[in-house]
């Protein structure tokens, strides 16, 4: 009898949660998927399911979603950055993909407004066609504008903070806030923003010569192809660079190129990349990270910090 009561209570809670999830996404114009595998939405091709995945149709759809999720006391997580590992049991609550927010608008003074779901390759191409310089550093970054803002994405040529003029955020209560760059604290692969979803960003660029911009982008793309394992699923750099050193050099010096756990492998091409050789799980990646950190600490005394962002349930 006790077991039956426990079962009934658990079933009741599950039904209540499903009702709350359905209420959170009711009436949205964008796409809604329940129990959606997140490996289809990450550059690592790894990740368990979202309770519900939403692709809002536009900013108004985001506003409606966050208000309804807030009313149901459900957490929201926004996808967007490539530097992400979703654990194997996925993410509870509402997961948002900004894939449908793809508009770009040119404004006076060499400013572009790009919605959060715009891919960086698309944005760079748009800037090149208008002879606008300032995004060349992002050549080869596959993430979205929103993800690059949140992570302050960067390369050896520059980072997102160099271009951001302001960011539009939908807060957890559904308010729209435009936050100027000088009110945002940018640091290495992080931006301290008001809580909410990045719906778009204004980027301050500058007039340039199209052929010169194209050459910088092509040269840097070639460099990335030559030095990084772009042909295999990954989440970009796994570790932050130690002071006055390179994480890739440190990992390689510790003899870890090619080290693997399951299908998760330290790249032979760049030791600060872990690649998915086909069927890697988040558990495999985390075990390999633990192995790399331990061996690097033992051999060099350096404690590597994660650049990779971990989300979801183990």
pLDDT averaged per 10 residues in sequence order, the chain, 314 residues: 55 79 98 96 96 98 97 94 92 97 98 97 98 96 93 92 98 96 93 95 98 97 93 94 95 97 98 97 98 97 95 90
CATH topology of domain 104-212: 3.30.465
Please tell me the class of the 16-96 domain: alpha beta
Residue 11: what pLDDT? Answer: 56
Residue 314: what pLDDT? Answer: 79
Every domain of the chain and the residues it spans: 16-96, 104-212, 229-311
- Which pTM does this prediction carry? 0.90
Residue 5: what pLDDT? Answer: 58
Residue 208: what pLDDT? Answer: 98
Residue 17: what pLDDT? Answer: 87
User: CA 65, CA 53: separation in Å to the nearest integer?
Assistant: 11
Q: Reply yes or no on domain 229-311 having CATH 3.90.1280.10.
A: no
């Amino acid at each position: 009898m006790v077991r039956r009561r426990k079962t009934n209570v658990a079933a009741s809670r599950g039904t209540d949660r499903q009702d709350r999830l359905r209420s959170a996404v009711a009436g949205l114009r964008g796409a809604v998927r329940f129990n959606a595998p997140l490996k289809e939405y990450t550059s690592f091709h790894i990740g368990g399911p979202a309770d519900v995945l939403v692709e809002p149709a536009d900013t108004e759809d985001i506003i409606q979603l966050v208000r309804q999720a807030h009313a149901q006391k459900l957490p929201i997580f926004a996808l967007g950055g490539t530097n992400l590992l979703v654990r194997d049991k996925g993410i509870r609550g509402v997961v948002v993909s900004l894939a449908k927010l793809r508009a770009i608008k040119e404004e006076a003074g060499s400013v572009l407004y790009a919605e959060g779901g715009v891919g960086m390759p698309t944005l760079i191409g748009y800037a090149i066609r208008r002879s606008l310089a300032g995004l060349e550093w992002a050549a080869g970054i596959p993430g979205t504008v929103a993800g690059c803002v949140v992570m302050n994405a960067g390369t050896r040529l520059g980072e997102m903070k160099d271009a951001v003029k302001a960011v539009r955020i939908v807060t957890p209560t559904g308010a729209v806030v435009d936050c100027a760059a000088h009110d945002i604290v940018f640091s290495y692969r992080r931006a301290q923003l008001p809580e909410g979803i990045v719906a778009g960003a204004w980027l301050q660029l500058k007039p340039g010569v199209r052929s010169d911009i194209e050459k910088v982008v092509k040269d840097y793309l070639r460099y990335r192809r030559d030095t990084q394992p772009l042909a295999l699923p990954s989440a970009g750099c796994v570790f932050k660079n130690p002071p006055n050193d390179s994480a890739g050099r440190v990992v390689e010096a510790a003899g870890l190129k090619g080290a693997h756990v399951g299908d998760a492998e330290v790249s032979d091409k760049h030791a600060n990349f872990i690649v998915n050789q086909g069927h890697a799980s988040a558990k495999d990646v985390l075990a390999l990270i633990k192995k790399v950190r331990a061996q690097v600490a033992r051999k060099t005394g350096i404690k590597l910090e994660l650049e990779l962002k971990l989300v979801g349930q183990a």
